[in-house]
Every structure is written in C-alpha cells, then in structure tokens.
Chains A and B, each alone.
Chain A
Amino acid sequence: MGITEQDLVGAFYEMIRTAATSIPEDVYRALKEGYERETNPLAKKQLEAILKDIDIACTRKVPICQDTGTPYFFFEMGENFPLRLGAVNAAREAVRKATKDGYLRPNAVDPFYKKNSGDNTGRYIPWIHVDIVEGSDLKVWFMTKGGGSEFPATLIMSEPILGFEKLKSGVIDTIVKYGPLPCPPVIVGVSVAAGADIALTLAKKSLLRPVGERNPDPNIAKLEVELLNAINKLGLGPHGFGGGLTALDVKIDYSYRHPATFAIGIVTSCWATRRASAVVHSDGSWEMTSKHIRYTGSGCMI
C-alpha cells in the first residue's frame, strides 16, 4: 500500500489542530512550575489566567490564542520518501482545511494589495523549509507563531572578535527592548551562523526543541543556562508585570561561519508556544512525536 497525498493531509491536519488547541507538555510543565513558584501577585494572576486559558482551549478544542499566527512547516525529508511535491501540496491543503474548521484564523495578507486570501495560504505561505536527509521517512515539525512574538526578531552582524559578547548583550537588550510585546514568559531561540538568513532560520528552528532539553554540546548548553538565568533576573515577568519568570528556556544552534562573519539570530516564541512534530513512514503510517496535554474527561493534564 503506497502513501497518498490524502494520508499526508490527514496527518498534517491533526498536527495543526493539536498545535493550535493544546500546549506541548514541556511548555505546560514549565508554566505550571512557574505559577507555583511565583510570589508577585500580578505575575501570579497572569500565570493563573494563562493556565486557565490552556485548560479551556484543550477541553473545548478551540485555539489557545486568537492570533493563530503564520504557519511554518519544517521537513526533514528522507531521500527515499515517496512524496515530495505531494508533501508540499498536502501542507497547503491541511492549512486550508484547518482554517475552514476554525483552528487557524485567516492571517495571510498580500502586502501590496492588502488582500487576505482567507485560508492562510499565499505566496510562500505556509512557509515550508525542507532539508533532505538519508532514509525513507518524512519528519515534520509544524509551528505557528503570532504576530506579537515576531516583533523581537533580531539580526546582529557582529565582528567575529566581539561575537559572543554581542550575542549575550544582544539577547538581554532584545528582551529589555520589547518588554511585554512578545507575551512573556517567552522561549528564546538564538543562533550563530555564516549569513543573516541562516542565522534567523536556525534561531527559529531552535524554538522547536522541548523546554528543558539542553544542547548536546556542553559549552553551548552552559551558555543556554547562563542566558536563561540572566533573562530571568531582569524581573520583567509574565506580561511585563514583574516576577521571576520571563523566559521558559533559551535554545542555541549554529552553522559553521565564514572567517569574516558572525551572524547572530535572536527569535522569541510567546508563552503560547504552538508546535507539533511527527514522523510519517513511506507506507503512510505516522505517529506524533511531540507530547501535548490531553483532555481526560475531567480536565486537561499531562
């Protein structure tokens, strides 16, 4: 039995629906722990509202946030996976269907003619990033991010000598500059790369990694923790009302760079981090690889 485009539409649709309505387990756990620790009353009130919102969205299968963002697909496509253009078509079709069913708000607008396509598709949207890898499976990450959390996206073209200094100060300055706008507590994706485009792409891809999972390289892991602690010392807190939880995590990735360049990408995700991942096999069977909170009959929980 061969895989069909319709199989993929079904898998992608389920990923979108899951991502839009139920928060990943790792994010939920971090928010809940933050709530339990928080002593600032305004901050606690915000985290309480956030946890209530998550519960309602999951129970009623409605979007967590009305800004259901811009849809992104990251494919790691095995060279022997049977569908290629089919996977791209299926991603667009799944986005259209999820929009029609109210899981995504129609957000795709033609910048020159101001026309909203009405179904979240348009030139280059959904954005689909493809890496070709060995094997015959298709690994898929779906992410959708609201407009507010895109504001802080920052590119720094540093002198290589000052690279890590500019990386650290750039992260702190970005969090301070944008304050409450990206809906903290945020997840911060950071990268070092050869070029501007690579840096921002890798920073965004970093947001796909679960909260609490450290970079396997011990030096990078150390930098992630150092920056996370530094951000949380700022006292910005949930929604900027103060408190100890400004970032849920910091993720760092890199590409090899050119000797003369040190491009730094910084990207934030709001607390409503909506992502799902799955692996699709060449026979059409698939499973979700990300874990999400689920409705158990009496509420939503891990």
Chain B
Amino acid sequence: MSSAREFHLRTPLRDEDVDKLRIGDVVYLTGTVVTARDEAHELALEVLRGGGSLPVDLRGLALYHCGPVAVKDVSGSWKIIAAGPTTSMRMEPVEPEFIERTGVKMIIGKGGMGRGTAEAMKKHKAVYAVFTGGAGALAAEAIKRVPAVYWLDKLGMAEAMWVFEVEEFGPLTVAIDSTGANLYEQRLAEVAEKAKEVKRELGLPAEE
C-alpha cells in the first residue's frame, strides 16, 4: 500500500459502489448512517427474527458502531457533540446475521472484525470501514442532522439507535472489502512476525 485511493460515496450504497472498494482505500461518506452497539444489535435481531421490521430500513445504509454524546439544543432537537467509533469486535457474534437480515452495505467502527463478518460481507456485498478511534469531535462535525433516535428510553443514550445525516464523514479506511479480504488480519500477522525480531533484540528467549 504505497498510497491510499480516496472515494466520496453517498447512501444508499449500491453493490457497484461497494465492489470497487479494496482494503486500504479511504472513503468519505455522505447520507444516512444509523448507530447500533451491543444492545441495539440484540434488540434489532430480536425484532427481525420475530418477523417484525426495524424503525428505519437499513438497506443500502451504513451501520455505525457508536455511542454518541448528544445534547438537546434550545429548539429541542438533538445535537451530537462527540461520536467516534466503539470497538467493533464486540458485535462480531451477531454481525453476519445482522448484515443478512438488514441489507446494510457498510459497517463503520474501530479495531477490526472477524472471519464471520468477512464471510458475510463477501456473500452480501458489504464493506467494513474504520473511523479514527477517539476522534469523537471530528465525527460530530460531519453529522449535520439527527432525523430520529429510537429505543432511547429503553437503551439509554449510548446504546440507542441514532439516525444521522452526515456529510463527507471520514476518513474511513476500508478494513474488510467485499472480496472478504481483511486488512487487520494481514497487518497483525506482520506485527506478530516483527515482534519475534524485537524480542530477540531485547535478549528474550525465542518462543515455542
């Protein structure tokens, strides 16, 4: 990866938008992003498994692993003041089913996701992209409107399902693409290899 390709995409995302993305590409997204953390995943799947539908149709949209800090402004509408990504791996056990049942085309989070998600992304044409962890104020800048929030009373501010209208939301780095390639899996294997060398230099015994 000598230099990153950059894309500016708009929701709803189509298969062809997702198909051209490869791991290491950088994306700026405009359109609708919907948040879900652990509890919103569980609740959404409970509804969908029961044959119900979600308060917002997620087909073609981006799902954001995020628990924002939100305040109500004087007019009574929500303003997001910090909204960086949360650790995606917590959602790994249920994400493949979530992708299949909802038709989301992009999942945004941090820290990477596992084999199950990569397989589901290959099968249903979706990508996983990483927003800079901790950059909550930068993310909030790109959130222009909050059209709705669901399950706020039941789940609380951080776990509720927020709907954001975003403009040029990013940088998002593609970490799993629709071929199932996983950037972190590759990178972390390189780091583990490097660690052996570093340990030798520290005079530590070789492993195994």
Contacts and interface: CB of A to CB of B under 8 A. Distances in A.
Given A46-B132, A53-B132, A66 B184 contact: no
Contacts, number: 176
Contacts of A63: 69, 81-82, 136-137
Interface residues on A, range: 35 or more
A234 to B, nearest CB: 5
Interface string B157-179: 11000000000000101000000
A169 B26 CA distance: 34
Contact of B132 (A50, A230, A234): A50
Given A45-B171, A181-B89, A66 B66 contact: yes
Contact of A233 (B83, B132, B198): B198
A296 B176 CA distance: 41
Contacts of A134: none
A239 B202 CA distance: 25
Given A49-B171, A235-B190, A240-B184, A64 B198 contact: no
A240 B134 contact: no
B173 A148 contact: no
A130 B117 CA distance: 45
A239 B110 contact: yes
Nearest to B26: A45
A52 B141 CA distance: 10
Contacts of B135: 49-50, 52-53, 65
Interface residues of B, number: 53
Interface stretch (A2-10, A102-110, A203-211): A102-110
Nearest to A236: B191
B158 to A, nearest CB: 6
A271 B173 CA distance: 18
A169 B204 contact: yes
B180 interface: no
Contact of A183 (B110, B197, B205): B110
B79 to A, nearest CB: 9
Given A67-B136, A183-B110, A270-B134, A172 B67 contact: no
A56 interface: yes
Contact of B191 (A46, A67, A183, A234): A234
Residue of B87, B139, B198, B201 with most partner-chain A CB within 10 A:
B198
Contacts of B140: 56, 62, 66
Interface in A27-59: 41-42, 45-46, 49-50, 52-54, 56-57
Interface in A214-272: 226, 230, 233-236, 239-242, 270-272
A220 B113 CA distance: 38
Contacts of A53: 84, 132, 134-138
7 contacts: A46-B171, A63-B136, A64-B82, A67-B84, A165-B205, A176-B192, A235-B190
Interface of A: 41-42, 45-46, 49-50, 52-54, 56-57, 60, 62-68, 102, 105-107, 116, 146-148, 151, 165, 168-169, 172-173, 176, 179-181, 183, 226, 230, 233-236, 239-242, 270-272
